[in-house]
C-alpha cells in the first residue's frame, strides 16, 4: 500500500499547486499540498513533522514558480493580442 500512496500523493500535490488565480492562493495551495505530501513521506521514517516542513517549503516554491509562469503566459497572450489589433 505504501508503494502506491507516495506517487499518488505526489501527483495530487502537484495538481493542487496549480489551484488559484493569485500569487498568494497558488503559493498557499502549493504549500498545503507539499506539507501533506511531506508529512506522508516523512511518516514512513518517523519524521512526519520535518517532512511536512520541508514539503511545505518545496510546495510553496512550486506554487510560486507555477504562478509566475502563468502570469508570463498571460502577458505574452496580451502582447500577441495587441500586435494583432494594431
Over the chain (86 residues), the average pLDDT of each successive run of 10 is 60 61 86 87 86 90 91 92 77
If one counts every other C-beta atom within 10 angstroms of the C-beta of residue 27, the result is: 21
Cα torsion angle, 70, 74, 79, 84, sign: positive
The pLDDT value recorded for residue 85 is 72
What gap in Å lies between CA 76 and CA 6, rounded to an integer?
36
The pLDDT value recorded for residue 6 is 63
Closest to 16 (Cα-Cα) out of 33, 1, 35, 37 = 33
Amino acid at each position: 500500500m505504501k508503494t502506491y500512496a507516495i506517487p499518488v500523493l505526489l501527483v495530487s500535490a502537484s495538481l493542487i499547486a496549480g489551484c488559484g488565480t493569485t500569487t498568494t492562493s497558488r503559493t498557499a495551495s502549493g504549500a498545503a499540498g507539499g506539507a501533506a505530501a511531506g508529512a506522508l513521506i516523512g511518516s514512513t521514517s518517523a519524521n512526519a513533522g520535518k517532512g511536512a516542513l520541508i514539503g511545505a517549503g518545496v510546495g510553496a516554491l512550486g506554487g510560486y514558480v507555477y504562478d509566475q509562469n502563468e502570469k508570463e503566459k498571460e502577458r505574452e497572450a496580451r502582447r500577441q493580442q495587441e500586435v494583432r489589433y494594431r
